[in-house]
Amino acid sequence: MSTAISTNKADKVNPAVKSTAYRAKRRFIIISLVPILLLFGVFAFLPIAWSLGLSAFKYDPLSSNAIFVGAENYIRMFQDSIFLKSLWVTFKFVFIAVLINIVITLLIASAIQRVRIPWLKNGFRTIFFLPTIAPLAGTAIVWNTMFNYNDGLFNMILAKMNMAPIQWLSDPHYALYSVIMMTLWADIGYNIVLFIAGLDSIPDMYYEAATLEGAGRWHVFLHITLPLLRRTLLFVSITTVVSYFQAFPQFQIMTKGGPFNETRVLSLQIYEQAFSSSNMGYASAMATVFLMIILLVTLLQLRWGRTQWEH
Amino acid sequence: MDIVSGSAGFFPSKPSLDGYRTVFSEAPFVTWLLNSLMTSVIITVVTLFTSALAGYVFAKHQFRGKKLLFILILATMMIPFQVIMIPTYLITAELGLVNHLLAIILPNLVSSYGVFLAKQFIEEIPQELLEAARMDGSGEFRLMLRIVMPLILPMLSALGIFTFMNSWNNYLWPLIVLNDESKMTVPLALVYFNGTHQVNYNVVMSAAVLITIPVIIMFLIFQKQFIKGLAMTGMK
């Protein structure tokens, strides 16, 4: 409304002043947006279209001639047992890791939120948050040494407890769970902070009312905390799912997809097909499937979240 | 860092700085640190500027196709990097930037998240304030630098911390585009040490500590903005 008043005033004062101001604004918009849009165009819009296009070609950057193959890459993909396995492993990883992540971060956040001494509360939050700021590649390497069969920290602890050592990263039964363990250690800080913020925004009066009515702790959590935390919960679950689908450094550094492809997630498979085997067309087709999965999962989560709110 | 001290308790050997000495003497570690520092600082500074600029234009100016452009920019937030990495590599190669630090910098100078956040925050700035400055003869760029940016400083500092950290820790893109040893950034350096010193833990650990320290210092200085920013933006 204020805009309307001020431009009206300018109109009455001097139309010439207004038009030069208008032209200056126009110039400002063009000068500032053109370089920014150019960057978005070259490094975001163009690659998306290119990737979709590339998935219909057999393309090896070394021989540099692209052969149009239509849907062949997609057909090949669904007969490729390694690709299918990588899909399965990706879903398994995301499902297990996200589920455990949300349960433990919610527990830790509620525990930290109960702490009433500010410096202690901050201290706890910092301790859980510190691992998240370390480079994931570094964390993966450090955990690699801890997972070592002969002199790694974990097997030393098992030995102290008189238990048999475990091939953490090379036993097909344990490899994926070892990576999940490391991922959770490296990543839970974010969600803890987000949950604490969400919990802090719930007004105390709800809890006071519930206590007056004699509700138990579990009852309060189920019927007050969880419903009021739904927004945070939806946000946290979407961002975590999307980021875990893209998890890469820990797999590339710790297991390289092995043993027996038990940790070959889709993002690793796309990377290796594109840059180790130079099958860029085939890798692009996988990337398209990857994109579809992420869009679908996000939409489903949003829809699920919305129907939950309506009740 | 926690792990290093934790496992040190487990091996009661005499402490030494040999690991650190090896890190600096056997590899161009200082160059790698400088590469990381330079790319991260440039990316952060420019991203803050472009985000504030685009946010200002989208929040306070009118032009045709504005809504569509904004939606397109937002849509790129949903695209996983694995989907665009192959064409982005081909474009970078076409530009002759493979093995060049510009390949790290150039694709990261704009952030759709940054534009989105800046727009949200700039919309809150009262129009009267901007009009008053325009009456005083301020140009749009000056307005942006002198009035808009200071007013959204809390948001910019949060965005800055996350941009710096993501760029410092970025592993996948440098792995694709940098092969030359002298051009590597620190996350790659770590993997390099792991490959050459697999038996010698303390060298790898020393390198891990060295590349984590800068972000830990950053975190300790900006802890408050960091936590607030995370709660505000939910950035990961």
For residue range A138-150, what is the model confidence (pLDDT) as tens digits? 899 889 888 988 8
The chain B residue lying nearest A246, using CA atoms, is B80
CB contact under 8 A, A24 and B219: no
A287 and A51 Cβ atoms separated by less than 8 Å? yes
A188 and A108 Cβ atoms separated by less than 8 Å? yes
- Its sign, for the CA torsion A217, A222, A227, A229, is positive
State how far the Cα of A12 lies from the Cα of A18, in Å rounded to an integer. Answer: 9
B44-59 per-residue burial string, b: 16 or more CB within 10 A, e: under 16 = bebbbbbbbbbbbbbb
pLDDT value at position A126?
86
> Confidence band (pLDDT; 50, 70, 90) for A86?
very high
Is residue A7's pLDDT more than 70? no
Other Cβ atoms within 10 Å of A2 Cβ, number: 12
Facing residue for B231 by CB, picked from A29, A194, A246: A194
Distances, alpha carbon A91 to alpha carbons A225, B86, B168, in Å: 29, 23, 29
Half-sphere exposure of A296 (CA within 13 A, CB side): 6
Tell me, yes or no, if B216 comes closer than 8 A to chain A by beta carbon.
yes
Residue B110 tokens, joined: 């704009």
- Higher pLDDT pick, B107 / A1: B107
Task: Say whether B1 sits in a helix, a strand or coil.
Answer: coil
B80 and A290 Cβ atoms separated by less than 8 Å? yes
Which residues 76-135 of B are in CB contact (within 8 Å) with A?
A: 76, 78-91, 93, 106-107, 109-110, 112, 115, 126-128, 131, 134
pLDDT value at position B232?
72
A interface test, pick of B77, B83, B116 with most A CB neighbours within 10 Å: B83
State how far the Cα of B23 lies from the Cα of B28, in Å rounded to an integer. Answer: 8
CB contact under 8 A, A145 and B234: no
Residue B109 tokens, joined: 């100078």
For residue range B168-218, what is the model confidence (pLDDT) as tens digits? 999 999 999 998 888 999 898 888 877 776 666 777 788 888 888 888 888
> Confidence band (pLDDT; 50, 70, 90) for A48?
very high
Facing residue for B139 by CB, picked from A24, A39, A156: A24
Report the Cα–Cα distance between both ends of chain B, in Å, rounded.
Answer: 21
Tell me, yes or no, if B217 comes closer than 8 A to chain A by beta carbon.
no
Q: What is the mean pLDDT of residues B42-66?
A: 95
Instruction: Tokens 């820990």: give the residue.
Output: A250
pLDDT value at position B189?
83
CB contact under 8 A, A47 and B128: no
User: Quick one: A115 exposed, middle or buried, by C-beta within 10 A (0-12, 13-18, 19+)?
Assistant: middle
The nearest CA of chain B is from the CA of A207 a distance in Å of 22
State how far the Cα of A52 lies from the Cα of A71, in Å rounded to an integer. Answer: 11
CA-CA-CA-CA torsion for A126, A128, A133, A136, nearest 10 degrees?
A: 170
Q: Which residues of A touch B194 (CB under 8 A)?
A: 141, 144, 253
Q: Name the residue among B71, B160, B147 with its Cα closest to residue B114.
A: B160
pLDDT value at position B236?
60
Task: List strand residue ranges (DSSP E) for chain A, in order.
Answer: 57-59, 66-68
> Confidence band (pLDDT; 50, 70, 90) for B13?
low
For residue range A181-204, what is the model confidence (pLDDT) as tens digits? 999 999 999 999 999 989 988 888
Instruction: Tokens 């685009």: give the residue.
Output: B54
Is residue B24's pLDDT more than 90? no
Facing residue for A32 by CB, picked from B57, B89, B187: B57
For residue range B141-174, what is the model confidence (pLDDT) as tens digits? 888 999 999 999 988 988 998 899 999 999 999 9
A185 and A269 Cβ atoms separated by less than 8 Å? no
A240 and A102 Cβ atoms separated by less than 8 Å? yes
CB contact under 8 A, A126 and B223: yes
Whether a cis peptide bond, with omega within 30° of 0, leads into A259 is yes
B4 and B209 Cβ atoms separated by less than 8 Å? yes
B interface test, pick of A26, A62, A141 with most B CB neighbours within 10 Å: A141
Would the ipTM clear 0.95, i.e. be above it?
A: no
State how far the Cα of A101 lies from the Cα of A98, in Å rounded to an integer. Answer: 5
The chain B residue lying nearest A295, using CA atoms, is B78
Please tell me the least confidently modeled range out of A110-119, B43-52, B88-97.
A110-119
The chain B residue lying nearest A46, using CA atoms, is B87
Mean pLDDT for chain A? 88
CB contact under 8 A, B187 and A135: yes
Q: Which amino acid is at B85?
A: M
